[in-house]
Amino acid sequence: MGLVCGTGFILRTRDFAESDLIVTWFTDRWGKRRVIAKQARRLGSRLGGVFDLLNQVEVVFYEKPQLDLVSKGSLLAGFPRMKRDLTAVTAALNTGRLLDRLLPLHHREERVYILFSLFLDLLEEGQIPTEQLHLATALKLLAMLGHRPRLDGCTRCGTQSGGFFFVPAAGGVLCSTCSRSRGAPITRGLALALHAVSSRPLARAGVIRFSPEEMERACKVVDGYIDHLIRGP
């Protein structure tokens, strides 16, 4: 266990003792880690502002069995435009919270790291509708972490026609026969649109158009699936 340097995004912070800070960050090399930043909350601290949520930072730290110990840290990107937009920063915080809840400690997830970095960059640019970008990112994250919902046909019988219901416990959509009307109703068109969004490059998340009603329904379906995964069966 020695002194190492890493780059990552701040997912969570918690006050500790009188002036310390416990930080959960998502790194490019080691996945999710936790560090303790001594006196980071003290007025005039050289770490002041570095560990704000969603910041991309470079940290030099000592590896420890429980909590790594910060030696020094510096800000790489603070995403100021995104943080001035309430809708955008809320989407980013929700995605960061999802990563914190689903990622195990010390398990490298390079593709997820690249995706989250791109998501924040696209939010900062502000060219893609935020809700659609957030939805596409959530679906891609779920797929990368092994929880891709099936949306292009019934998960039991495979049919691609008729009415669908999204059933989290089934891992996707079921036809009206297989679901027996359990789950959230979802049209075949919306299910296929979500499948397409999850399959396209993130930078093209805005190509497929959703009506306000479709976006509301889509968000409820994906949020319900995420809640099911976090709570467990």
CATH of the domain at 59: 2.40.50.140
Which H, E and C letters describe 147-183, residue by residue? Answer: CCCECCCCCCCCCCCCCEEEEHHHCEEEEHHHHCCCC
The C-alpha R_g of the chain, in whole angstroms, comes to: 20
Q: Strand, helix or coil at 73? A: strand
Is 123 in the same domain as 196? no
- Does residue 93 fall inside a structural domain? yes
Is 112 in the same domain as 176? no
* Both structure tokens of 196: 């397409």
Is 169 in the same domain as 91? no
Quickly state the pLDDT bin for 233 (edges 50, 70, 90): low
Q: Does the structure show a pLDDT above 70 at 211? A: yes
- Does residue 133 fall inside a structural domain? no
Looking at residue 14, what is its pLDDT? 95
- The answer to whether residues 47 and 37 touch, using CB atoms and an 8 Å cutoff, is yes
Q: How far apart are CA 233 and CA 185, in angstroms?
A: 21
Q: Does the structure show a pLDDT above 80 at 220? A: yes
Phi, psi angle pair for 63, to nearest 5°: -70, 130
Question: pLDDT tens digits, residue range 16-36?
Answer: 989 999 999 999 999 999 999
Angle (CA) 12 16 20, round 5°: 90
Q: How far apart are CA 211 and CA 197, in angstroms?
A: 14
Identify the domain containing residue 64 by its residue range: 1-127
Could you tell me what percent of the chain has a pLDDT over 90?
84
Looking at residue 24, what is its pLDDT? 97
Is 11 in the same domain as 115? yes
Q: Does the structure show a pLDDT above 80 at 1? A: no
Q: How far apart are CA 187 and CA 177, in angstroms?
A: 15
- Does residue 142 fall inside a structural domain? no
How many other CB atoms are found less than 10 A from the CB of residue 104? 9
Question: pLDDT tens digits, residue range 78-127?
Answer: 999 999 999 999 999 999 999 999 999 999 999 999 999 999 999 999 99
CA distance to 120, 147, 163, 168, 200, per residue, from 232 (Å): 28, 12, 27, 10, 28
- pLDDT (average), residues 67-83: 95
Tell me the average pLDDT of the chain.
93
Number of folded domains that form the chain: 2
- Does residue 141 fall inside a structural domain? no
Residue owning tokens 């789950």: 183
Quickly state the pLDDT bin for 205 (edges 50, 70, 90): very high
